[in-house]
A and B are shown apart, each in its own frame.
Chain A
Amino acid sequence: MTETTAATERAAGAPRKKMEVSSTDVAIEITKMNKWYGDFHVLKDIDLRVMRGERIVICGPSGSGKSTMIRCINRLEEHQQGSIVVDGIELTDDLKKIDEIRREVGMVFQHFNLFPHLTILENCTLAPIWVRKMPRKEAEDIAMHYLERVKIPEQAKKYPGQLSGGQQQRVAIARSLCMNPKIMLFDEPTSALDPEMIKEVLDVMVGLAEEGMTMLCVTHEMGFARQVANRVIFMDQGQIVEQNEPEPFFSNPQHERTKLFLSQILHH
């Protein structure tokens, strides 16, 4: 769907397509997952099922293991116990399966991690060409399509170092989308950005959510969580402490630690 139709639908007051979540189709299934860094138990008995089309926001204090958890999903970190099944494929040491999962799962990082020696367009076409074996022309067309979606097609020939932080993060999102992923992971995508750039990135993410992308998003942008999330997860000390739909989660948190955390982030 193009940007304009999405925008007009929104303007016409079309109902938000929050209900596209599948009730049978599981995107990610994490069962009794444990992870240690040396002796340090970072993730404790994580159980999480994400349905296709679901948008999940993960929050929690610094060091609670949010990044580690979502990085386990595409094997940037290795878990030691339990199982993670992504799109029907179980994550094991099998490199083939890891590659397969990484092809279907896009990830956006706090510090963008664009490749500084390649132009914006080359950043976007690299993986389609080398991983999906797509012809260059086709990859470039797709890249331009997504760069238009994130509203920076005119920057295609520039290098990442010439762009603002917000623009770089939008390129990073476009780069992931070029692989046509089924699931997108976001690790604090806006926390390295100046306030005036946060909105441009969040707008892109809202657009994605409205199209029904399965998203796991570590963020402290509570407005974003209210607007698009089906579910908010609160983590502390390596555990999932509480999860709920956004409305009850924010208005009526149950756990003491959730209450404390929310009072801290909402009161400044």
Chain B
Amino acid sequence: MTDMTDLSYVRTTEAEAKPAPVSTTGFIGWMRRNLFSSIPNTILTLIGIWLAYSIFAPLINFAFVHAVWTGDNRDACLAQNVGREVGACWPYVEAYFPQFIYGRYPVEERYRVDIVYLLFALLIVPMLIPSVPAKRLNGLLLLVAFPIVAFFLLVGGVFGLPVVETSQWGGLLVTLVIAVTGITASLPIGILLALGRRSDMPIVRLLSIIFIEFWRGVPLITVLFMASVMLPLFLPEGVTFDKLMRVLIGVTLFSSAYMAEVVRGGLQAIPKGQYEGAQALGLRFWQMMRLIILPQALKLVIPGIVGTFIGLFKDTTLVLIVGMFDLLGQVQSSFTDPTWASPSQSHTGYLFAAAIFWVFCFGMSRYSLFMEKKLHTGHKR
């Protein structure tokens, strides 16, 4: 080493890179750094383990360890018959599974619902995977062709398909119809409302504000009641309007108001320079919005948008109060069946419904995280 007491110093040899100390790398190192780095951290880690254990152990016991897997009726799920503590009664879910999925949709027509489910899966999966090509065609099929096909398949009345009244629909079918329609329609409407609220035109701005604040000001339950009970009173004699349709419109408008505010938050975060850069290049208003502003604004608020989607998905359960049976409603209505009455019947039913909802909502949540990462081009320094 050079004598550092001198004021001037010139390095003559390169310092070599040494391996990091073992205690900071690998699994042990990770645990040390993250879980046991200090006494408070260690205490929190232990509390966390204890909490996780005390929540998940009973759940796993109920759902798997103590569960009954086979049987034909309630007898299979009664403790005195099994001879031990009984957890979930899965044969009941198995027996009711078709009802949970299709509601009272006629058995011989259920293949139509299956086709719709299948078509939807075939179109949405490639749409969601960024590397699959032909996004434009895919989107067109999904947003234009699919709704039309799905409508005629589900409702019937054409090509010799018998009509199935929407009052016979139920279960996951109703949940998905409401959620998917609400989600796909509320995003574009929300974007238009957000742009309207920021418009230079006072009338457009005022109307947007009134619309947004009205729908945000009333509870969804009220909206659903109005749609199903009050609206028919205002409609002229003889004009009928399918109840599911009214609920769909109510849910869509309701969530588009929330969506509008989420999108507006994103728009506000876009610097003025982006507008000016686009204008100076000669882009028209809608080109600028579509190509420059909205992609950035929407990317910023993906968590908020997906949050609204998830909220909407779960809010579909409220249609029960206007006499429609979504997945949860269908599960609840099955509790009255004496064939399967047992102490764990309702727990099992709710657990099943919760699991289905959780899978959908968790899926949306994970997908939004994936998209956020994928679209991240900021590399801010």
Contacts and interface: CB of A to CB of B under 8 A. Distances in A.
Interface of A: 74-76, 99, 102-103, 105-107, 109, 111-117, 126-127, 130-131, 159, 161-162, 175-176, 179
Given A99-B282, A102-B281, A179-B282, A111 B273 contact: yes
Q: Which 9 A-B pairs have the closest CB atoms?
A: A113-B277, A161-B379, A127-B281, A102-B282, A107-B280, A113-B273, A159-B377, A131-B282, A103-B282
B11 interface: no
B70 interface: no
B319 to A, nearest CB: 38
Interface of B: 273-274, 276-284, 287, 291-292, 295-296, 299, 375, 377-381
Which of A106, A107, A109, A130 has most chain B Cβ within 10 Å? A130
Contacts of B291: 126, 130
B378 A116 contact: yes
Given A113-B274, A115-B292, A117-B295, A161 B378 contact: yes
A131 B276 CA distance: 15
Contacts, number: 68
A116 B296 CA distance: 8
Contact of B380 (A112, A115, A161): A161
A113 B377 contact: no
A107 B277 CA distance: 8
B282 A76 contact: no
A214 B375 CA distance: 39
Which of B273, B277, B377 has most chain A Cβ within 10 Å? B277
Contacts of B284: 99
Which of B274, B282, B287, B378 has most chain A Cβ within 10 Å? B282
B296 A175 contact: no
Nearest to B276: A76
Contacts of B283: 126-127, 130-131
A123 to B, nearest CB: 9
B277 A117 contact: no
A112 to B, nearest CB: 8
Given A113-B274, A117-B377, A159-B377, A76 B287 contact: no
A258 B154 CA distance: 79
B216 to A, nearest CB: 29
Contacts of A117: 295-296, 299, 375, 377
Given A109-B276, A117-B295, A175 B281 contact: yes
Contact of A161 (B278, B295, B377): B377
Contacts of A176: 280-281
A126 B377 contact: no
B277 to A, nearest CB: 3
A179 B299 CA distance: 28
Contacts of A162: 379
A111 B272 CA distance: 11
A214 to B, nearest CB: 16
A91 to B, nearest CB: 14
A107 B275 CA distance: 13
A74 B278 CA distance: 12
A115 B282 contact: no
A231 B153 CA distance: 74
A111 B276 CA distance: 11
A112 B277 CA distance: 8
Contacts of A115: 274, 277-278, 292, 296
Contact of A102 (B280, B292, B375): B280
7 contacts: A113-B276, A113-B280, A116-B296, A117-B295, A159-B379, A179-B281, A179-B282
A186 B281 CA distance: 14
A159 B281 CA distance: 19
A218 B280 CA distance: 16
A109 B277 CA distance: 8
